[in-house]
């Protein structure tokens, strides 16, 4: 039996006992993880297609280790302007091993509960945090974490749990420096925030 499943924003064809490298997951080494965005399952001549996902299907895996991928060099140049910038990037990855593929009967993770809108406090633009795109920011706001101060007071592990509960596509996002970034933003220290963000590599401070 094999399956095509979406893990951390990427699609993989997987089988039982197969090892896969995916974008960094928030789980610890040795943790059991599951993915319910299964797009296709094949078992011999029987092929089941989702629309887009198969209801009740699930791929279960175990986290083996966290690591960084090979360095990629990014070089930017503007002609006749003397502009040259060279940066290196190593993608944060997680190695997992597929333990089982369930065609049906799996329970999907409950979505994060939407918080009641506050009238006294104005929400901050959480997208100013490096690594927090529109979907991640929306997930935090829906969980009631809608200001820089609240992000700063929330442990990185909890932030990762909120993102994973909202969507498996957000589970690869590394939130390790988000509380530190948010504290600088809450204090209005934008220059220090920019310096910190310039030092980040795959969401991790160099």
Supply the pLDDT for residue 164: 86
Is 12 inside a domain boundary? Answer: yes
Is 156 inside a domain boundary? Answer: yes
Same domain, 70 and 134: no
Same domain, 139 and 173: yes
Please list the alpha-helical segments (H only) found in the chain: 134-142, 148-152, 156-166, 178-186, 190-198
Is 137 inside a domain boundary? Answer: yes
**Phi, psi torsion values for 181, nearest 5 degrees:** -60, -45
Is 18 inside a domain boundary? Answer: yes
Range of the domain at 43: 2-102
Half-sphere exposure (Cβ direction) of 105: Cα atoms closer than 13 Å: 5
Same domain, 130 and 88: no
Supply the pLDDT for residue 112: 44
Same domain, 95 and 133: no
Supply the pLDDT for residue 4: 96
Is 107 inside a domain boundary? Answer: no
Supply the pLDDT for residue 201: 74
Cα dihedral 140/146/148/154 (nearest 10):
-50
Same domain, 12 and 92: yes
Supply the pLDDT for residue 119: 46
Positions in the chain whose pLDDT score sits under 50: 112, 115, 117-120
Supply the pLDDT for residue 74: 87
Supply the pLDDT for residue 153: 94
Q: Check if the beta carbon of residue 50 is closer than 8 Å to that of residue 38.
A: yes
pTM recorded for the entire structure:
0.50
- Quote the DSSP letter at residue 180: H
Tokens of 24: 């960094």
């Amino acid at each position: 039996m094999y399956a095509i499943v979406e893990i951390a924003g990427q699609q993989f064809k997987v089988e039982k006992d197969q090892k896969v490298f995916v974008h960094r997951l928030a789980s610890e080494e040795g943790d059991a993880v599951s993915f319910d965005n299964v797009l296709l399952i094949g078992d011999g001549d029987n092929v089941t297609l989702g629309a887009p996902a198969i209801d009740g299907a699930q791929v279960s895996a175990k986290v083996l280790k966290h690591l960084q991928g090979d360095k990629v060099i990014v070089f930017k140049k503007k002609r006749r302007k003397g502009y040259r910038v060279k940066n290196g990037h190593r993608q944060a990855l997680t190695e997992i091993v597929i333990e089982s593929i369930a065609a049906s009967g799996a329970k999907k993770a409950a979505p994060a509960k939407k918080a009641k809108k506050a009238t006294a406090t104005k929400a901050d633009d959480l997208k100013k945090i490096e690594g927090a795109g529109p979907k991640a920011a929306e997930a935090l706001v829906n969980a009631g974490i809608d200001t820089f101060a609240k992000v700063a007071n929330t442990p990185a592990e909890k932030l990762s749990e909120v993102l994973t509960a909202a969507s498996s596509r957000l589970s690869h996002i590394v939130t390790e420096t988000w509380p530190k970034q948010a504290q600088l933003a809450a204090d209005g220290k934008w220059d220090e925030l920019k310096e910190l963000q310039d030092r980040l590599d795959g969401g991790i401070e160099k």
